[in-house]
Every structure is written in C-alpha cells, then in structure tokens.
C-alpha cells in the first residue's frame, strides 16, 4: 500500500461509526501524578499492567478506534505475550504514538511556551512504524490571560505543529494536531473563544504553507469553555460557542475533529460532546472524542493498583467508552451515568 493509501485506510478506521480515540500517552511525570491520585505507584510493571488492561478490555474495539500511547508502551507486552500494539490490532484498534517532547520556554516571549521534538523526528517515526504505530499526536498548549497568548506564541506553535504534520505524512502516518487552549485561569467563555479561533486559524494557515494534506489530518481541539474559576456553562452554551469557532476556522476537508477533555469531569466532557453533536447547523466533520482523564479516571479508581480489580476496571472503561460513543451520535442522556451494565 502506498503512502496515501495507508493514510486513507487509517482515517477510515479511526472514523468508523460510534468509535473514538483514547489518549493513554502520559509521559513519566504525568502518569506518576495521575496514578498517585488513586494511591497507585508508577513503576514500569504497573504502567505495563495498566495500559495492557486498557488494550485487552473485551469488546472495547466497538467504541474505541484508536489509542495514543507513550513510546514506552509500544515495546511492552500483555500477560498473554502480545505486544500492546498487536493486542490493539486484534480488536481492530489503531495504535498511535505521542511524538512531541513537551513544552519549553519560547525565547523572547516573556515566559510563553512552545513544543519541542522535531529533532530526529523522521528517524523516530521509522522506528514507531516498525512497532506498529500508524498515527501520531503532537500537542501545543496556550495559557490564556487578557493579553496572552501573544502573536509570537500563536505563530511559533502553529509553525512547529505544521512542520511535524508534514514529516508524519511523509511516512504515510496520520498526524493528530492538538492546539490546546488551557482551562487554567479566570478567563470567561468569550475570551476562550477568541483565543481558540486565533490558535486554530494560525494552525490551518501553517498547515497550508507546509502542504499538509488536510484529508489525512485529525484535529484535536479543546471545547470552548471558561477558565476553571468560572461556573460551568450548560452543554448547549458550550456547543454553540465551540461550533461557532470550528465553522470559522476548520476546512471541510478535515475528516475528523476529536475533542480533548482538558480538565473536565468525565460526565461534563460526555454531556458537552453530546450537545455538540445534537446542535443544529452544518457539521461537515466527524465530531468525536480523544479523551484522557475523562475516560481513564473511573478506570484507575476501579483498579486502584490491585490486579484482582482488573475485571472491574475494564468494565468501568467499557461503560465510559460506550457513553462517549453514544455522545458522538448525540444519543447520550445523563441518566445513563447510573447504569454500569
């Protein structure tokens, strides 16, 4: 299969009806913090067991079409001896890989951040392909104040994200581009909308400059929400603001928009995704999910680091994934939260 054919096949698998993407790509410091919140020690074995638990959940391929992993996970194996990517493939789940190397200070910006990781990216991608990864993810993060992010930060991050996407597509892999406007802060929903629109507009301008094929690109944006210090808006308010920005910035050629949860509770993220899909008006993209904590928190709580809780943890994962699958189709109801069957 040629490069274009491989990307087309991957997109088709990622966007099949009812399925979304799990983000299980936490770096060592992040996974350590996430697990410690539930009293679980982060060791190589606990991380292997946990991510294997996710990949081997019976029936999870019906609602999860792709999983973004951290590079450590690509070489790890399940209890049955399969590599974790191979275990995903056995359930028709596409293995993916986070390829950025985190945030560093953007020189001359007064403290804003830019994402690093372009050095030797092509060589790393060749290795990830051999380990079974077919798509990738790169995250930018934008802090919000009355004056930030600056034009410098918006343009620098967009340029790096576009360069990443072009390199990924040269290998026949599908890039997920993630321009995350952070919920940290006291900005209102209108300010979030302004910044989100600016970040996405800069990104798509850069993608065009670098000849990135939008038909084989997935956008992973934040939903438009106020900062954490504000009361949470209704799902309908979130949906209206989010769709207004997307319609202004995202070309119809983009096949899928998979939202990040970005600090929302599991229930809030699912309700907002459902409202976005229920809203009236043109929506030329698949509007799905690529949640991390909103999918994983209930799983980690059920597991608690005890292998005897594996079945309960997998049931919690399957339940949460099914709710988000319904929300992707606009068929979720809050009453379903109580049903763990």
User: Which residues are catalytic, by number?
Assistant: 178, 220
Helix or strand or coil: residue 23? strand
Task: Please give the Cα distance from 273 to 280 (Å, whole number).
Answer: 14
Q: How many CB atoms lie within 10 A of CB 233?
A: 18
Q: How many CB atoms lie within 10 A of CB 58?
A: 11
Task: Please give the Cα distance from 213 to 175 (Å, whole number).
Answer: 10
CA atoms within 13 A of residue 138's CA, in its CB half-sphere: 28
158 and 120 Cβ atoms separated by less than 8 Å: no
Q: Quote the strand ranges of the chain, DSSP E.
A: 20-24, 64-69, 94-98, 103-105, 113-115, 135-142, 174-181, 218-219, 256-259, 286-291
Residue 105 bridge partners (DSSP): 113
Task: Give 314's contacts (C-beta < 8 A, 6+ positions apart).
Answer: 53, 56, 57, 58, 60, 299
Q: Quote the strand ranges of 149-285, DSSP E.
A: 174-181, 218-219, 256-259
303 and 313 Cβ atoms separated by less than 8 Å: yes
113 and 105 Cβ atoms separated by less than 8 Å: yes
CA dist 44 to 40, 97, 110, 203, Å?
12, 18, 37, 36
């Amino acid at each position: 299969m040629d490069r274009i054919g491989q990307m087309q096949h991957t997109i088709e698998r990622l966007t099949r009806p009812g399925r979304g993407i799990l983000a299980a790509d936490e770096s060592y410091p992040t996974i350590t913090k996430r697990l410690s919140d539930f009293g679980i020690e982060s060791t190589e074995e606990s991380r292997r067991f946990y991510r294997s638990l996710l990949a081997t959940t019976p029936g999870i391929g019906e609602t999860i079409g792709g999983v973004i992993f951290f590079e450590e996970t690509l070489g790890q194996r399940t209890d049955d001896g399969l590599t974790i990517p191979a275990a995903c493939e056995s359930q028709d789940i596409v293995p993916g890989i986070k390829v950025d190397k985190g945030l560093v200070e953007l020189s001359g910006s007064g403290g804003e951040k830019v994402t690093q990781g372009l050095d030797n990216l092509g060589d790393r991608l060749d290795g990830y392909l051999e380990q079974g990864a077919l798509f990738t993810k790169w995250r930018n993060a934008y802090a919000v104040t009355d004056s930030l992010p600056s034009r410098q930060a918006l343009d620098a991050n967009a340029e790096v994200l576009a360069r990443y996407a072009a390199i990924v597509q040269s290998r026949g892999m599908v890039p997920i581009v993630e321009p995350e406007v952070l919920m940290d802060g006291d900005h209102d929903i209108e300010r979030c909308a302004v910044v989100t629109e600016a970040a996405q507009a800069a990104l798509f301008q850069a993608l065009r400059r670098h000849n990135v094929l939008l038909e084989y690109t997935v956008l992973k944006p934040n939903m438009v929400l106020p900062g954490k210090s504000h009361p949470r808006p209704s799902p309908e308010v979130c949906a209206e603001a989010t769709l207004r920005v997307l319609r202004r910035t995202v070309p119809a050629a983009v096949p899928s928009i998979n939202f990040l949860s970005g600090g929302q509770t599991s229930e809030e993220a699912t309700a907002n995704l459902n409202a976005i899909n229920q809203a009236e008006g043109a929506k030329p993209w698949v509007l799905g999910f690529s949640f991390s904590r909103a999918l994983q928190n209930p799983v980690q709580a059920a597991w608690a680091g005890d292998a005897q809780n594996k079945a309960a943890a997998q049931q919690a994962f399957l339940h949460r994934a099914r709710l988000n699958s319904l929300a992707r189709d606009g068929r979720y109801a809050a009453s379903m939260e109580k049903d763990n069957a």
